[in-house]
A and B are shown apart, each in its own frame.
Chain A
Amino acid sequence: MKWFKNLVGKPEQISDRSLEIIQIKFNNFLEILHNNNAVLKNVSDMEEKLQGEYLFDLNYIRSLVSEIRRGVIAIINNMTALGGDRYKKLKECYAKIDAEIARILPGGRPIEEDEYIRFFDNIRRENAYSVGSKNAQLGEMKSRLNLPVPDGFAISAWAYKHFIDKNDLQHKISELIRPLNIKSYEDLQNVSHQIQQIVTNAPIPDDLADEITRSYKKLREKNPKARFALRSSAIGEDTEYSFAGQYRSVLNVRAVELLESYRAVLASKFTPQAIYYFLSHSMSEDELAMCVGCIIMVNTRSSGVIYTRNPVNAGDDNVVINSIFGLGKYLVDGTISPDVFRVSRGQKAIGDSLISLKTRKLEMHPDGGTSDTELSEEEGRKPSLSDEETIRLAEFAVKIEEHYGSPQDIEWAIDHDGEIYILQTRPLRVIAPPKNEIEIDVSGFEKLTEGGYTICPGAGGGPVYRISSVNDLQDVPSSVILITPHSFPGIVTVMGKIKGLIAETGGMASHMATIAREYGIPAIGNLKETGMLNNGDMVTLDSTTAVVYKGLHDELIDKRKPDLDLFEDIDIFNILKQISSHIAPLHLVNPKDSGFIAENCRTFHDITRFCHQRAMEEMFYGASELKNKDRFSSRLQTDIPLAVNIIYIDKEIPEKEKNRKVDENRIESVPMSSFWRGIKKEGWPAPARPADMKGIFGVFATTMTRTEDDRFSEKSFAILSDEYMILSLRMGYHFSTIEAMVTEQENKNYIRMEFKDGGATIERRIRRIRLLTDILAKAGFENYSKGDFLDSRLSYQDAESTKEALFLLGRLTVLTKQLDMALSNDAIAKWYTNDFLKKLDMPVDGDL
């Protein structure tokens, strides 16, 4: 940047402070351009990866997102430097968009400052980054949807950070983890245990302890008879990985156990899996942060899980309600097989129901803790929901799904007075059925056993491998059909390597089922008869029909494979797709729209577009406000009657006024000289002949009547450097701005033209826009037009092509001068389009 060196190296030559300001602004402006290009390049990189042609990993997404974040933040900072504090609201827009991205892709961000405590009525889903997903959803449902959600408050990630920092725990934990080479699950378990102990024994800072206790009292005063639970609510939980269910909840927490329980929940984050992940991917602090919710416990009579769609059959849009007696733990951990009610969403009528034998129930114990009760056969066979309750639950479920716009997995409970409470909601993964249902001939197969529910449809084959507890997990070999008596949390660690899963208890709504669907592992639940399946037996599990066959049947496995686009159903594509929806779409197109304001930036792309536009305007504004502009602007010397003032931003300004002229054949700016060659090539014609006599004002007349004292902005003027130009062209009644960068690096090159206004009626002006669009599209420009406004751009071309396009724009500028006047109907417009195309040596429609 030569001019910058001038600025720094030879300050004595810059006599005018206001020019210096312009140059500083230009510096910021160039930075914006640079970052803008970088961000757009990353955005298109991301969109390319979404086409399904590439394989990539989470690290790719992480580094791409952090690059884009860096670029957008730099743009906002430069924008504030360029245009002042009124652009500070961009930071709020950024924070809002970024919070959504962080919800999908946690990590890489410092924990943000917030209250230690937030009560649910003061939480929206936007707060997910501070209070964790689960708390945020509860707050959202309470405050925005008015749903019956138990009262409570969240202890934020900021509180967690305070606790960790005060006790220097981050350091202590790192010390423990660093020497660990993951040789075995056992070592991981040991370290996990040690860390959990450190966390449980660390004192909670007084101010935090006070606030937790005070909030607890407040909640207690409002609900004197209630009991309370502390629940984990990790940032990003339920979205990226189904770590769900692996963290601890403490039920029935009394005042004296409050702080101890808080620490216990925090400690539960340090599972062997989390440490494994920490070692392999270096987790950032927010990924380890644990938010906690203190929630009123429902004195539960019945509870369960609602799927707003059938997760194993996308064609079935019934609401599916799983329900048991007592607390929901026995349902999600698979101890009990639930009653299943299906409600059609249209008629609100209960369809197929299945009443299971519920052998036991878990209830709150009056003195804290929980107690397990066996149910008699008579009790256990009763339905756990009345018809009326079933319908009401389904209504809530539909309302929640409509609010979130996607199928949901909802936890609920009903107390002994029949009051319904919604406890949690999160997105539900629905497995699409094969597009062509194929009949498979299984008559020759030997059936070993059958029964239970489909947890995840499909088929898989391999040797049988049985486990009975979490301790067996580390020995599970690859490619087996795993049989487990019930679900337990660590099971996620083997999901990547097994071919099929059989659970002897538990249904579609257990956490294990969620995980199996996420990994697409063929799985069935509640299969009682498994005695004949011995370790090492080669079997094929057809989970779609819930049958186990002897031997390996590849054709069955093949045919049961979901019939999807190659990667469509794979998590990582969905993660990128979701993130991309907050980055790539462009909503701010027309800067003349009243909606073109910072507040309306909904994506990072909007922010960059907005900033680019405003930065350009700030540059113009700055230039038009310059005092003594004659002292540093030069006049373009030309026989064309068009007054163009030029400011070279990277050159010294001649002292003497008479020297401040620029010969049109020696324009020291690559883009401007190409553009001007185009103007010269066409020459200056007489005004286009209007078809009628309405409003004829020749450019000639206009420019001639203007005096030297006209405001700068009303004249044509250009800010130029070797590689850059921004040209504001006033010709008659239309106004265009052409901005261009021409360098040796293709990815920096671009042209942007904005075209607006005109003397003729709107119909004629629109015809001119259409004509321009037709011609520019043929030259490779991308066009966005609205009414008589056109935004046309060309990017990533090599220097030669960019120069040629500028030359073309110069010619077009002359050709279309006041053309709108002549475009009295579409046929004439078409004629002109073809005439120009011929003149420009471009193919005319119809003669390819």
Chain B
Amino acid sequence: MTQEILAIDDELHMLRLLERIITDKTPYRVETLNNSLELPAFLKDREFDLIITDLKMPGMDGLDILKFIKENKRFEEVIIITAFGSLDSATEALSSGVFDYITKPFRKEEIINTINRAMLWQECKKETCKLNSFFESEPLSEAIDKFRAEYIRRMLDKYDNSIEKTSQHSGLSIDEIRGITG
């Protein structure tokens, strides 16, 4: 699954720059939002990995967005872009759980590195959540079943969905694998 980013800024220039650089220089998909007030509706049935937002905007500003994400216990991490000199807000953002903040103007590499770091973090987060859900399962057989299913899915992935190869390398019978994949 390609990881997804939502970029929010009221200045279209900046939004276009972000969109361009993410599309050209990273493997992630990006969508943009010009009016931050549309965000709650926009996120109703969507989930992103990362939100990149400007700090100072009319409507919801960067901190409002961060608050919205945290209060609703959403999965997204938030990177806030601030103008140089608005450090107070940056500190506030840090204490409210922002993933990172970047001051404008910034180098391409700076945003790309920060995005990559956030995406790696999100991948680990997903992984940990999954593992946690295994460990929280009761009784043990339930946890083992879940693990087995996940194991088979990954082996299939590794061997180009070939059931034969998966069976050969995992030591599981073809029927057992079919039982999982359906």
A146 CB-CB contact with B under 8 Å: no
B73 CB-CB contact with A under 8 Å: no
Selected contact of B11 from candidates A58, A181, A184, A479, CB within 8 Å: A58
A597 CB-CB contact with B under 8 Å: no
Selected contact of B34 from candidates A60, A181, A182, A497, CB within 8 Å: A497
Given A55-B104, A60-B104, A566-B21: A182 touches B37 (CB 8 Å cut-off): yes
Given A54-B107, A56-B105, A279-B58: A566 touches B31 (CB 8 Å cut-off): no
Q: How far is the CA of A59 from the CA of B11 in the complex (A)?
A: 10
What A residues does B174 contact at CB under 8 A?
Answer: none
Given A55-B18, A57-B14, A572-B17: A276 touches B58 (CB 8 Å cut-off): yes
- Of all chain A residues, which has the CB nearest B19? A496
What A residues does B56 contact at CB under 8 A?
Answer: 280
CB pair A56 B58 closer than 8 Å:
no
Type the 1/0 row for A311-335, where 1 means its CB is closer than 8 Å to any CB of B: 0000000000000000000000000
Given A55-B108, A497-B32: A567 touches B20 (CB 8 Å cut-off): yes
CB pair A55 B11 closer than 8 Å:
no
Given A280-B10, A497-B33, A570-B17: A55 touches B57 (CB 8 Å cut-off): no
What A residues does B121 contact at CB under 8 A?
Answer: none
Given A55-B17, A183-B37, A570-B20: A478 touches B105 (CB 8 Å cut-off): no
CB pair A59 B107 closer than 8 Å:
no
What B residues does A497 contact at CB under 8 A?
Answer: 32-34
B15 CB-CB contact with A under 8 Å: yes
Work out how many contacts link A and B, with CB atoms closer than 8 A. Answer: 86
> B87: shortest Cβ distance to chain A, in Å?
16
> A721: shortest Cβ distance to chain B, in Å?
33
CB pair B105 A49 closer than 8 Å:
yes
- Of all chain A residues, which has the CB nearest B15? A496
**Count the A residues whose beta carbon is within 8 Å of the partner chain — how many?**
30
Q: How far is the CA of A94 from the CA of B12 in the complex (A)?
A: 31
Given A57-B13, A479-B31: A182 touches B104 (CB 8 Å cut-off): no
Q: How far is the CA of A428 from the CA of B38 in the complex (A)?
A: 33
- Of all chain A residues, which has the CB nearest B9? A57
Within 8 A of A (CB), among B1-59: 10-18, 20-21, 24-25, 31-34, 37-38, 42, 56-59
Q: How far is the CA of A428 from the CA of B10 in the complex (A)?
A: 26
What B residues does A495 contact at CB under 8 A?
Answer: 12
B106 CB-CB contact with A under 8 Å: yes
CB pair A478 B33 closer than 8 Å:
yes
Q: How far is the CA of A49 from the CA of B107 in the complex (A)?
A: 9
Q: Chain A at the B interface: mostly helix, strand, loop or mixed?
A: loop
B111 CB-CB contact with A under 8 Å: yes
- Of all chain B residues, which has the CB nearest A182? B58
Within 8 A of B (CB), among A48-103: 49, 53-60
Within 8 A of B (CB), among A459-477: 477
> A105: shortest Cβ distance to chain B, in Å?
12
What B residues does A796 contact at CB under 8 A?
Answer: none
What A residues does B33 contact at CB under 8 A?
Answer: 478, 497
Q: How far is the CA of A430 from the CA of B17 in the complex (A)?
A: 19
Selected contact of A55 from candidates B14, B32, B42, CB within 8 Å: B14
CB pair A566 B13 closer than 8 Å:
no
What A residues does B111 contact at CB under 8 A?
Answer: 55
What B residues does A53 contact at CB under 8 A?
Answer: 107-109
What B residues does A520 contact at CB under 8 A?
Answer: 16
B83 CB-CB contact with A under 8 Å: yes
Given A59-B83, A60-B104: A567 touches B32 (CB 8 Å cut-off): no
- Of all chain B residues, which has the CB nearest A60? B105
> A135: shortest Cβ distance to chain B, in Å?
27
Type the 1/0 row for B121-138, where 1 means its CB is closer than 8 Å to any CB of A: 000000000000000000
Within 8 A of B (CB), among A211-248: none
Selected contact of A567 from candidates B17, B58, B83, B104, CB within 8 Å: B17
- Of all chain A residues, which has the CB nearest B24? A566
CB pair A182 B16 closer than 8 Å:
no
Q: How far is the CA of A477 from the CA of B39 in the complex (A)?
A: 11
- Of all chain B residues, which has the CB nearest A276? B58
Q: How far is the CA of A182 from the CA of B13 in the complex (A)?
A: 20
A519 CB-CB contact with B under 8 Å: yes
Within 8 A of B (CB), among A551-577: 566-567, 570-572
What B residues does A519 contact at CB under 8 A?
Answer: 12, 16
What A residues does B12 contact at CB under 8 A?
Answer: 495-496, 519
> B128: shortest Cβ distance to chain A, in Å?
31
Q: How far is the CA of A477 from the CA of B15 in the complex (A)?
A: 16
CB pair B108 A570 closer than 8 Å:
no
What A residues does B38 contact at CB under 8 A?
Answer: 477-478
Given A280-B58, A567-B20: A58 touches B13 (CB 8 Å cut-off): yes
Q: How far is the CA of A56 from the CA of B42 in the complex (A)?
A: 26
Q: How far is the CA of A520 from the CA of B15 in the complex (A)?
A: 13
What B residues does A181 contact at CB under 8 A?
Answer: 58-59
What B residues does A54 contact at CB under 8 A?
Answer: 105-108
Type the 1/0 row for B57-98, where 1 means its CB is closer than 8 Å to any CB of A: 111000000000000000000000001000000000000000
- Of all chain A residues, which has the CB nearest B83? A59
What A residues does B10 contact at CB under 8 A?
Answer: 280
- Of all chain A residues, which has the CB nearest B16? A570
CB pair B31 A478 closer than 8 Å:
yes
Q: How far is the CA of A477 from the CA of B109 in the complex (A)?
A: 31
Q: Give 9 new A-B contacts, CB below 8 A, not counting A56-B105, A276-B58, A478-B42.
A: A55-B104, A55-B108, A59-B83, A59-B104, A280-B11, A497-B32, A566-B20, A567-B20, A572-B14
Provide a sorted-by-A list of 7 A–B residue pairs whose CB atoms are within 8 angstroms: A55-B18, A55-B21, A55-B111, A58-B13, A183-B37, A495-B12, A519-B16
- Give the 10 A-B CB pairs with smallest separation, nearest first: A56-B105, A572-B13, A496-B12, A496-B34, A280-B58, A57-B14, A182-B58, A55-B17, A279-B58, A54-B105
